[in-house]
Amino acid sequence: MTPAARDIRTWLLAAALIAALAAALTPRLGLRQQVFDIVAVVDITGSMNTRDVGDAGRPISRLAATRNGLDQLVARLPCKSRLGLGVFTERRTLLLFEPVPVCDNFDAITGAIRQIDWRMAWEGDSYIASGLNSAIELGDGLNADLLFFTDGHEAPPLPRSGGAAFEGKPGAVKGLIVGVGSLTKSPIPKFDDSGREIGFYGPNDVPQDNRHGLAPAAAESAAGWHPRNAPFGAMAANGDEHLSSLREPYLRSLAESRGLDYQRLGSDPALLDAVDQALRKRSVTQPTDIGVYPASGALVLLAVLYGMLPLLAAGRSSSRSKPR
């Protein structure tokens, strides 16, 4: 080995030793980081069982897609972010647990998300506007922003007067309505009392209109109309409420009236980007280990010292030993 080669090896070994010592002795630094405080609410009403998300050949249910999307979102949230979980059915939201740090409680959070099921519902109706109002009130009490996952399918259908009015201050709670499902109508799976799927809902299984409140003026010309006994007429309504689709225009109107944003559930980065734009951020100091950088440098230097240089030396020896 030539003196020059020995000098290179000595310098590389010394540099690797210095880098390794720096990795061991470098203190953890407190870096500023932007984090979120979120309560995620999932619609668990019957229409969320509709299988219309994903590939046409093997679609999954809206509820399964929500679980997957929320699971992936939690994995991407920065540490020190907090997330709570709730479910919605009928008119109100039920909190399962308050916002907790996502990294310290990752397994518990994702485990709870994966257990969300339509069988948790205590009622079969779906008053989306009322449930959203309840979720906003919940987020306000927890000082957290809201993620509300739903397909927007009201059951029974909305009356002529529309959904429940919002009495709060629009924008006081920041949030994002996440629309789940396809814009194309699909059948809703039907289950028996034991939770076994037995087919799909038909036209006679669900209300096709909402006959609460005042009847429209045109009802007077309906067959069997009576101002007191049959103000909507005596004939059953026809419709396709037994089929379900993502009611996107309705959800956008709900979001606008309450100062929220709207995003359709799709790719994982798109949801995270929507969260980043719509929700508030809280600045925290996160202890960060930067010793990985000098440690990586030490490994590179050792790879050159014990890997690349011997290979170069062997190549030169081989070329000298060849007969001329």
Share of the chain above pLDDT 90, in %: 55
pLDDT of residue 5: 54
pLDDT of residue 237: 65
Indicate whether 24 pLDDT > 80. no
Where are the chain's structural domains?
3-23+292-314, 31-206+241-286, 210-240
pLDDT of residue 236: 58
Residue bearing tokens 């050159």: 304
pLDDT of residue 33: 84
CATH classification code of 31-206+241-286: 3.40.50.410
Computed over its alpha carbons, how large is the radius of gyration of the chain? 30
Indicate whether 29 pLDDT > 70. no
Rounded to the nearest 5°, which phi and psi values hold at 32?
A: -75, 135
Indicate whether 224 pLDDT > 60. no
The closest alpha carbon to 156, from 84, 90, 66, belongs to 90
In sequence order, what are the beta bridge partners of 17?
none
pLDDT of residue 54: 87
Q: Out of 4-18, 191-205, 283-297, give the one with best mean pLDDT.
A: 191-205
pLDDT of residue 101: 96
- Integer angstrom CA distances of residue 165 from 131, 259, 285: 11, 14, 41
113-172 pLDDT tens trace: 999 999 999 888 899 999 999 999 999 999 999 999 999 999 888 777 778 899 999 999
Residues in the chain: 324
What is the rounded average pLDDT of the residues 254-270? 91
**DSSP characters over 165-212:** PP-S-TTSS-EEEEE-S-SS-EEPEEE-TTS-EEEE--TTTS-SS---
Predicted structure pTM score: 0.77
Mean pLDDT of all residues belonging to the chain = 84
pLDDT of residue 217: 53
Q: How confident is the model at residue 30 (pLDDT cuts 50, 70, 90)?
A: low
272-319 pLDDT tens trace: 999 999 999 998 776 666 667 777 877 887 787 777 767 766 666 666
Indicate whether 223 pLDDT > 70. no
Angle between helices 309-321 and 3-25 (to 10 degrees): 170
Residue bearing tokens 């109309």: 225
49-83 pLDDT tens trace: 999 998 767 899 999 999 999 999 999 999 899 99
